[in-house]
Amino acid sequence: MIKDQENVIVLDFGGQYSQLIARRVREANIYCEILPYNTPLDEILSRKPKAVIFSGGPASVYSENAPVCDKRIFDTGIPILGICYGMQLMCHMLGGRVEPAETPEYGRAELMVDEEDGIFSGLEKNLTVWMSHGDSIITLPEGFRTLARTKNTPHAAIGNGRNLFGVQFHPEVAHTPRGKEILNNFLFGIAGCIGSWSMKAFVEEQIQLIRQRVGNRKALCALSGGVDSSVAALIAHRALGDNLTCIFVDHGLLRKDEARKVVETFKDKFHMNLIAVDASDRFLKRLEGVTDPEAKRRIIGEEFIRVFEDEAKKLGKIDFLVQGTLYPDVIESGTQTAAVIKTHHNVGGLPQDLNFELIEPLRDLFKDEVRRVGLQLGLPEEIVYRHPFPGPGLAVRVLGEVTREKLAILREADAIVTEEVKKAGLYGELWQVFAVLTDVKSVGVMGDERTYAYTVAIRAVTSEDGMTADWARLPYDLLDNMSTRIVNEVPGVNRVVYDITSKPPATIEWE
């Protein structure tokens, strides 16, 4: 982060919504970062935060391994808002009592506000809020007052009349309609934030930071043609000019015509050094016989870096690698507090002996925020609104072993799916739509002949940020067109199914 930039820190206690809290703060034009709960106090203070927000979390404060922060943070005078577990922890550490609630609350609850000042300033006396807790505050710490309650939770919001506040409900979720106002009351009213940060300021800051770090040295940028790396490349290019070289890798796992289109678009629209590397043989060789999804991801992550190293050698000494890593890539690869969902090639999949220093200007952002940065930078809309395509490409959509034959089948099926969605005018309404080649063969009958061939699955989802997603209710006629065309036009496929699971419990990609 930039020196003297007004900022707020979210201390993460493993909550599901920590990243949502950060987003809400950024939506209020305040720069926000998420740090693990055990970040040393000195490190927190060195960022001079205007306020700190404690997230929720799955633990109970009275359980043995409950995550705790440095207690001295309460003496710093920094305004702190505890949310759910965060409030319970504040209460527990300051001498109050937390116990399992008689009646847990999940979902909607009616909040009755006792004190309209402070975080409830300007709001109604009765508010709808969203709850998710099994523990409750029984006794308040000394100096604290109850600010609001619900039928089952006598201390649903608390404050010490000065800088410490807590809420049992989740103001960050969309199901708490006045949540934004409550957070803003805390950020502006209590913490005195100004809200001067913006996407424009963000870009300027990142350019400055990259210049400071790299100086006159050289950097590579891993460019995929997707929105994240395109935005990262534009920012890095503004900072470094010709000292930046973009590398686009064709790992043999791209979609139909993708390599050609990416190179054309970039040569055409951007005046940056761009090298396109055909590395398909080496990737496919290393993937031979590999069926485990995580093993595939790690091989691809490593091979990407080996390709970048080889290219770097040809260009002289290069110390830095720019990547378009986003926050969801980081959290799904596993953090101190969050479980590994899948190893994203550009985070968890990086080899141990990485010889580049990474530059990841978008590491704290979500896709829709990156899209706004892209528009700000003048990136063409066709790139800004392109559906995400994972770095490991078709390797995570060909289930089981990846072979050239299977890739060829999937490429054709996928091209039909995309084409039909675009024809139906629905591309812009979906987060992603694609085909998956399952490892299942089944019996069919075509032209009076028995067939025994692959099953293709169609996946289409809507989502705001890729963290949660719902399967798209595509029109039957559209599904019918896709199915008919795939079976008729793609040899090797005799059955098409539609994936009707949301995330969670599934993920968007199948591997």
Ligand X SMILES: Nc1ncnc2c1ncn2[C@@H]1O[C@H](COP(=O)(O)OP(=O)(O)OP(=O)(O)O)[C@@H](O)[C@H]1O
Smallest gap from residue 353 Cβ to Mg ion (A):
24
| Nearer to Mg ion among residue 17 and residue 389 (C-beta) | 389
Q: Is 229 annotated as a binding residue?
A: yes
Binding ligand GLN (rule: CB under 6 A), the pick from 40, 95, 122, 134 is 134
Site string for ligand X, 285-324 (x = CB under 6 A): --------------------------------------xx
Strands 219-222 and 320-322: parallel
Tell whether residue 319 is among the known ligand binding residues.
no
Q: How does strand 126-139 pair with strand 97-113?
A: antiparallel
Under the criterion CB under 6 A, does residue 15 sit at the interface with ligand XMP?
Answer: no
Is there a contact between 433 and 418 (Cβ–Cβ < 8 Å)?
yes
Cα 239 from Cα 81, distance rounded (Å): 37
Is residue 466 annotated as involved in ligand binding?
A: no
Q: Partners of 135 in the beta sheet?
A: 100
Please say whether the beta carbons of 143 and 161 come within 8 A.
yes
Calpha distance 275→426 (Å, rounded): 34
Taking CB under 6 A as the rule, does residue 229 contact ligand XMP? no
Q: Which is nearer to Mg ion, 24 or 344 (CB)?
A: 344
Q: How many CB atoms lie within 10 A of CB 178?
A: 17
Q: Which of helix, strand or coil describes residue 386? A: coil
Contact letters (x/-) for ligand GLN, 6-45, by CB under 6 A?
A: ---------x------------------------------
Tell me whether residue 84 is one of the annotated catalytic residues: yes
346 binds ligand X (CB under 6 A): yes
With binding defined as CB under 6 A, does residue 371 bind ligand XMP? no
135 part of the interface to ligand GLN, by CB under 6 A: yes
Q: Is 228 part of any known ligand binding site? A: yes
**End-to-end CA gap in the chain:** 34
Identify the CA nearest to 398 among candidates 500, 251, 501.
Answer: 251
Residue 92 touches which of Mg ion, ligand X, ligand XMP, none (Cβ within 5-8 Å per kind)? none
In the bound state with ligand X, the residue whose beta carbon lies nearer, of 15 and 390, is 390
Question: Does 226 carry a binding-site annotation?
Answer: yes
Please say which residue, 179 or 388, places its beta carbon nearer to ligand X: 388
Which residue from 7, 44, 51, 57 is in contact with ligand GLN, where contact means CB under 6 A? Answer: 57
Which one of the listed residues 155, 170, 251, 344 is annotated catalytic?
A: 170
C-alpha span between 116 and 148 (Å, rounded): 9
Residue recorded with tokens 């803003």: 184
Beta-bridge partner residues of 54: 11, 82
Among 362, 392, 437, 459, binds ligand XMP (CB under 6 A): 392
C-beta of 56 vs 226, nearer to ligand GLN? 56
Helices 367-376 and 199-214: angle between axes, nearest 10 degrees: 90
Question: Residue 175 is encoded by which pair of tokens?
Answer: 């199901």
Distance in angstroms (rounded) separating the CA atoms of residues 35 and 13: 9
Tell me whether residue 172 is one of the annotated catalytic residues: yes
Alpha carbons within 13 angstroms on the beta-carbon side of residue 377 total 29
Among 250, 388, 433, 486, binds ligand XMP (CB under 6 A): 388
Positions that interact with Mg ion (CB under 5 A): 224, 226, 389
Candidate list 6, 105, 172, 420, residue with the active-site label: 172
> Could you say which of 32, 84, 221, 246 is catalytic?
84
DSSP 234: H
Residue 178 contacts residue 205 (beta carbons within 8 Å): no
Q: Closer to ligand XMP at the Cβ: 141 or 466?
A: 466
CA atoms within 13 A on the CB side of 100: 2
Q: Measured from the CB of residue 155, what is the shortest distance to ligand X in angstroms?
A: 42
Q: Which of 149, 193, 391, 490 binds ligand X (CB under 6 A)?
A: 391
Minimum Å gap between C-beta 199 and ligand X is: 17
* Residues near 421 by beta carbon (within 8 Å), at least 6 away in sequence: 427, 430, 433, 460, 474, 478
Query: Does the annotation place 136 within a ligand binding site?
Result: no
CA distances from 169 to 117, 155, 158, 467 (A): 18, 11, 11, 21
What whole-number distance in Å separates Cα of residue 272 and Cα of residue 274?
Answer: 6
Least CB distance to ligand GLN at residue 123 (A)? 22
Our finding on whether 346 is near ligand XMP (CB under 6 A) is: yes
Tokens for 231, please give them. Answer: 């935005």
| Burial class, 218, CB count within 10 angstroms (exposed 0-12 / middle 13-18 / buried 19+) | middle
331 contacts 342 by C-beta, under 8 angstroms = no
**Which residues, 6+ apart, have CB-to-CB distance to 191 below 8 Å?**
8, 50, 51, 79
Residue 393 interacting with ligand XMP (CB under 6 A): no
Among 37, 54, 85, 320, which residue interacts with ligand GLN (rule: CB under 6 A)?
A: 85
| Distance from the Cα of residue 245 to its chain's centroid | 26
The residue within the footprint of ligand GLN, chosen from 7, 18, 19, 60 (CB under 6 A), is 60
Pattern 454-483, ligand XMP, x by CB under 6 A = ------------x-----------------
Piece of the chain touching ligand XMP by CB under 6 A; list 26-34, 197-205, 231-239, 344-352: 344-352
Residues that constitute the known binding site: 224-230
Q: Which residues bind ligand GLN (CB under 6 A)?
A: 15, 56-60, 84-85, 132-135
Q: Which residues bind ligand X (CB under 6 A)?
A: 222-224, 226-229, 247-249, 323-325, 329, 346, 386, 388-391
Q: Which residues bind ligand XMP (CB under 6 A)?
A: 297, 328-329, 332, 341-342, 344-346, 388, 390-392, 432, 466, 503, 507-509
Give the residue numbers marked as catalytic.
84, 170, 172
